[in-house]
Amino acid sequence: MPAITRCVLALWLLFGLGVQASAQAIPGITRPVVVGGDRDYPPYEFLDGSGQPAGFNVDLSRAIGEVMGLRVEFRLGSWAEMRQALLDGEVDILEGMSFSEERAAGEVDFAPPSAVVNHAIFARKGERVVRNLDDLAGSKVIVHRRGYMHDLLAGKGFEQDLLLVDTPADGLRLLASGQGDFAVVAMLPGNYIIKDNKLDNLAVVARSVATLRYGFAVKKGNEALLARFSEGLAILRGTGQYEALYNKWLGVLEDRPLPWTTVARYAAAVAVPLLALLGGTVLWSRSLRRQVAQRTASLTRALDELSRNQRQLVQADKMAALGILVSGVAHEINNPNGLILLNIPILRKAQADCARILERRFEAEGDFLLGGIPYSRMRHELPRLLEEMQEGALRIKRIVNDLKDFARREEGSGRALIDVADASRKAVRLLDAAIRKATDHFCADYDPDLPLVWGHSQRIEQVIVNLVLNACQALPDRSKAVTVTVGHNEAAGQVVLTVRDEGSGIAPEHLPHVTDPFFTTKRETGGTGLGLSVSAGILKEYGAVLSFTSAPGQGTTAVVVFPVAREEGTP
């Protein structure tokens, strides 16, 4: 099980038991949490064709409500109305607000950001070129009423030249009709609105004129509610659900190059195995051709050898090949990642040294641009960006180490005599919150007089956690049951662990592949296809066998058979 998953399960153990009670213990909230947002700010938040709330922020708020046991109710309107409604106490939390020091010091408190929003300047095609916000002086500029750009440009003294609109869509339609000179709108909503409304005479003339942290905000002092949403956001990031929502709504729209980590992952998953297979085939063919040339008198024997080698290639141990592949890719990733981890501390020291010089200039000359962003903001953002880069590089290192652990085979490591029933009880306690959320009918039955088996307590717990968690995720609703039993087959000298669910079942064509590495039917919800493969590998080390029986619509049964320990030191 990856390190990230272990951390999330630990959080569930520590906090899961108190989620339902805590939802009703938030000071001032005795009803569903009212979440406010903009009615026309796609793809972040908007009312869809049927008038229902939709978008990245809406799905994220729903997911946080589910994981934290909170009931949420959405209220979308014009941004100015929603911002005032928060201050008046008519809504409890805004699901999308750009961060600024002035807002944080004044009227609201912010959760950790859920996204980063880049603002751009839009104009009619053929309009004069501008490079930044200062170039807008003297022009009629359309902005979102009480939005961040309204606050910023008014602060620059542009108030008399601003044309205020209730929504970004209103602003871009106004610009397309010939009114105003420019519109300053967030990049993704702007491009989305132009495409959806077919405003073909508009274009971006200056990109990334402001880059802002964006996320949940509450009225100043509502720390309890803010803490719940911050905790829920952290859990979603750990489970991968946040990344799935981000990719669904924002990933396909962002105008950015493909991350090199994604390129490396796809190259490793597709190109490397094909190249290895092709290279191996070419090498074998050349070798056999040389043998044919040298042994013309033994042509038949050489052809038989070729056929035998080809069959051996097809039947080669896939896990050994995967181990070699993962080790090679891990080495190639660790080298550049090592340079990043080595250089970032130096950059942070250099940034700290430069900060003194830049602060003196700031004090002497006032604000100036650094990397296209005002220094007054960059001096706070730059240390955070370097810290996030270092955390990201460390995460890459942990992921690579998890892959190397998956590929490594350590036969018999950490063997001890263990009680499978005791390991099962611990795993069930660890998953208590997840089980209660998934089903109202959970049953566990343990034989009171079980013999011991050889294994490693924590690793066997890891296997049971994987099996029970998969069973819970397979249930269509809480009325279906999950059953865990541990018994003793005395005649066969075996301890048998059974995990049975009444879920959707596994298709017959998928059943033979459930323990194959990287095979998963839950890719869209963040599944990696490593959980059952790792579990099968762990059990193999201790002589245990994992098998599955299933029928679509009737549930699945996972059975683990452990050989009873015969004598000390002998599995």
Instruction: Give pLDDT, residue 307.
Output: 62
Q: What is the pTM of this model?
A: 0.43
CB within 8 Å of 133: residues ≥ 6 apart: 121, 152, 153, 156, 184, 209, 210
Whether the predicted pLDDT of 258 surpasses 60? no
Mean pLDDT, the chain, whole residue set: 82
Cβ atoms < 10 Å from Cβ of 330: 20
Instruction: Give pLDDT, residue 407.
Output: 55
Whether the predicted pLDDT of 332 surpasses 80? no
Instruction: Give pLDDT, residue 17.
Output: 35
466 sits in the region (left: phi over 0; alpha: psi -120 to 50; else beta) called: alpha
The Cα angle at residue 258 between residues 527 and 202, in degrees rounded to 5: 115
Instruction: Give pLDDT, residue 405.
Output: 53
Instruction: Give pLDDT, residue 409.
Output: 47
CB within 8 Å of 127: residues ≥ 6 apart: 181, 182, 205
Question: 């919150």: which residue's tokens?
Answer: 433
Ordered alpha helix ranges (H), 366-456: 375-407, 420-430, 432-438
Whether the predicted pLDDT of 495 surpasses 90? yes
> What single-letter amino acid sits at 175?
L
Confidence of residue 174 (pLDDT cuts 50, 70, 90): very high
| Beta carbons of 153 and 163 less than 8 angstroms apart | no
Whether the predicted pLDDT of 275 surpasses 90? no
Mark 435-453 as b/e (b = at least 16 C-beta within 10 Å). bbbbbeebebebeeebbeb
Ordered alpha helix ranges (H), 440-516: 457-473
Measured CA distances, 172 to 161, 169, 177, 186, 519 (Å):
16, 5, 9, 11, 46
Q: Which of 86-95, 259-268, 304-313, 482-491 has the lowest mean pLDDT?
A: 304-313
Q: Helix 3-15 and helix 420-430: axis angle, to 10°?
A: 70
Q: Which of 217-231, 402-416, 447-461, 485-499 has the lowest mean pLDDT?
A: 402-416
Whether the predicted pLDDT of 91 surpasses 80? yes
Instruction: Give pLDDT, residue 571.
Output: 45
Listed residue (112, 47, 50, 114) closest to 82, CA to CA: 47
- Classify residue 25 by its DSSP letter: -
Whether the predicted pLDDT of 410 surpasses 50? no
Mark 360-380 as b/e (b = at least 16 C-beta within 10 Å). eebeeeeeeebeebbbebbbe
Whether the predicted pLDDT of 315 surpasses 60? no
Q: Is 559 helix (H, G, I), strand (E, B) or coil?
A: strand
Higher pLDDT, 256 or 248: 248
Confidence of residue 188 (pLDDT cuts 50, 70, 90): very high
